[in-house]
Amino acid sequence: MADGQAMDEVVTFTSELIRIDTTNRGGGDCQERPAAEYAAARLAEAGLEPVLLERTRGRTNVVARIEGTDPAADALLLHGHLDVVPAEARDWSVHPFSGEIRDGVVWGRGAVDMKNMDAMILAIARSWAREGVRPRRDIVVAFTADEEASAEDGSGFLADEHPGLFAGCTEGVSESGAFTFHDGGGRQIYPIAAGERGTGWLRLTARGRAGHGSKVNKENAVTRLAAAIARVGAHEWPLRLTPTVRAALTELAVLYGIEPDLTDVDRLLEKLGPAAKLVEATVRNSANPTMLDAGYKVNVIPGEAVAHVDGRYLPGGEDEFRTTLDLLTGPDVDWEFHHREVALQAPVDSPTYARMRAAVEEFAPEGHVVPYCMSGGTDAKQFSRLGITGYGFTPLKLPEGFDYQALFHGVDERVPVEALHFGVRVLDRFLRTA
């Protein structure tokens, strides 16, 4: 069991990491180095030998290995990103980079995404050093840069340029799982992420015949583009159940005493009420038009019109996604991936999943653990190139009224001290048994 010092340190570290402003505005505008040095120093104090790695100056990653007792066992990757999304101070009740601790709550950008987890990892590694605890498997700890943008200076760089640091790692654990989801009717659900949809950010280009706005023009690029994105936006994607979502729906149905009828999933989702939120975005692919760009004067028909679409596809759903986009956009509109990331699927019948589940159940006996698939993505996508299966497991016990998913990238991001303590206990238990 993690000691009292670990409980103090997780709070201090969360607060101090928040105070190190690592805002990632994209386009390379971010400096993780001070946060990386902070994390590396805390690990070095615990007798570990962290290495700092940069592809770009100031975009620093930290990797360290905790040696396990069984050299034949596969290693486990434990990773957290150091960067955060921007925060507009005037919208907040507390300055987003103050790390203020008020009424038992730590406030600031990164409090749940994901300096909380970074702090838990540091606090646990240090408590193990004090107690002489060694895990069974090697545990590779990685703190990454650039997760909130392209990951090119972070996990992508580590996977491509430093695969040796991750030798032996078969599974990874990181953000967005095992938080309390309150269903509004008194039930507490702890979803553990075992999959991620893939990302397909698309650029659609319609070409046509440029000309005067007063003339007949059947090859108008704006008309062509508008028709194509209307079809894309209105498309009803067919239901596709991945193993994780299938397990999630079945377990939720059992929890609510509903017939787990997977032949009529829309009906089942309706019956699940608020808990449907955990699965509804991951039962099908999606494609939402988000940006439009065409023309420069009202009486001039432009020769080209461009739109962007935020597409997401399920594990195993990429081919169907591509074929469908070809059909929806039609012959007059080209589309391409402006940015593409793979979808991930992790098994929910693995010993590792069972150990995560058991750790949550031990400290939250009133909770119900279910697997879920993330609608978006994390660094686990990059690490999957090394054959590492990723799970989302950042345990947090949150009181009712704390909407975890709304705090993610939201205003007044904050985390209760109690939630951090729970996180340390559960993560520590899982890692000791992993």
Q: Determine contact, residues 171/391, Cβ cutoff 8 Å.
A: yes
Q: Determine contact, residues 235/228, Cβ cutoff 8 Å.
A: no
Q: What's the min distance (Å) between Cβ of 396 and Zn ion?
A: 13
Q: What is the DSSP letter of 263?
A: T
Q: Out of 10, 43, 114, 221, which residue is the one contacting Zn ion (CB under 5 A)?
A: 114
Element (H, E) at 41: helix 33-45
Distance from chain centroid for Cα 415? 17
Q: What's the min distance (Å) between Cβ of 408 and Zn ion?
A: 7
Q: Residues 9, 32, 118, 147: which is the catalytic one?
A: 147
Q: What's the min distance (Å) between Cβ of 374 and Zn ion?
A: 10
Q: What's the min distance (Å) between Cβ of 175 and Zn ion?
A: 5
Helix, coil or strand: residue 320: helix
Instruction: Tell me the two tokens of residue 209.
Output: 């015949």
Question: Site residues for Zn ion, window 298-357 (CB under 5 A)?
Answer: none
Identity of the residue, 183 or 341, whose beta carbon is nearer to Zn ion in the bound complex: 341
d(CA 52, CA 69): 25
Identity of the residue, 275 or 278, whose beta carbon is nearer to Zn ion in the bound complex: 278
- Sort 414 into a burial class: Cβ within 10 Å, 0-12 / 13-18 / 19+: buried
Identity of the residue, 306 or 342, whose beta carbon is nearer to Zn ion in the bound complex: 342
Phi, psi of 276 (to 5 degrees): -60, -25
Active site residue 147: yes
Question: Site residues for Zn ion, window 131-190 (CB under 5 A)?
Answer: 175
d(CA 267, CA 260): 10
Identity of the residue, 65 or 81, whose beta carbon is nearer to Zn ion in the bound complex: 81
Identity of the residue, 329 or 378, whose beta carbon is nearer to Zn ion in the bound complex: 378
**Candidate ranges 59-67, 111-119, 189-197, 285-293; the one touching Zn ion (CB under 5 A):** 111-119
Active site residue 83: yes
Identity of the residue, 99 or 289, whose beta carbon is nearer to Zn ion in the bound complex: 99
Q: Residues 32, 83, 153, 428: which is the catalytic one?
A: 83
Neighbours of 290 (CB within 10 A): 13
Q: Out of 83, 113, 251, 428, which residue is the one contacting Zn ion (CB under 5 A)?
A: 113
**Candidate ranges 15-23, 107-115, 137-145, 310-318; the one touching Zn ion (CB under 5 A):** 107-115
Q: What is the DSSP letter of 75?
A: E
196 touches Zn ion by CB under 5 A? no
d(CA 128, CA 407): 31
Q: What's the min distance (Å) between Cβ of 414 and Zn ion?
A: 15
d(CA 319, CA 20): 42
- Sort 234 into a burial class: Cβ within 10 Å, 0-12 / 13-18 / 19+: exposed
Is the torsion defined by CA of 405, 409, 413, 418 positive or negative?
positive
Going from the C-alpha of 195 to that of each of 44, 69, 124, 181, 380, the distances in angstroms are 33, 29, 26, 18, 9
**Candidate ranges 8-16, 49-57, 112-120, 213-221; the one touching Zn ion (CB under 5 A):** 112-120
Q: What's the min distance (Å) between Cβ of 253 and Zn ion?
A: 30
Helices (H), 84-203: 115-131, 155-161
Q: What's the min distance (Å) between Cβ of 83 and Zn ion?
A: 9
Identity of the residue, 79 or 284, whose beta carbon is nearer to Zn ion in the bound complex: 79
**Candidate ranges 40-48, 108-116, 122-130, 203-211; the one touching Zn ion (CB under 5 A):** 108-116
Task: DSSP for 133-166, please give it.
Answer: ---SS-EEEEEES-TTTTSTTTHHHHHHH-GGGG
**Candidate ranges 113-121, 151-159, 306-314, 334-342; the one touching Zn ion (CB under 5 A):** 113-121
Q: What's the min distance (Å) between Cβ of 413 and Zn ion?
A: 11
Helix, coil or strand: residue 363: helix
Neighbours of 209 (CB within 10 A): 12
Residue with nearest beta carbon to Zn ion: 113
Identity of the residue, 235 or 409, whose beta carbon is nearer to Zn ion in the bound complex: 409
Beta strands in 233-343 (DSSP E): 286-294, 300-301, 304-313, 333-341
The residue to which tokens 């070095």 are assigned = 44
Q: What's the min distance (Å) between Cβ of 113 and Zn ion?
A: 4
Identity of the residue, 220 or 378, whose beta carbon is nearer to Zn ion in the bound complex: 378
Binding mask 214-253 for Zn ion (x = CB under 5 A): ----------------------------------------
Give the binding-site size for Zn ion (rule: CB under 5 A). Answer: 3
Catalytic residues: 83, 147
Task: Name the residues that contact Zn ion, by CB under 5 A.
Answer: 113-114, 175
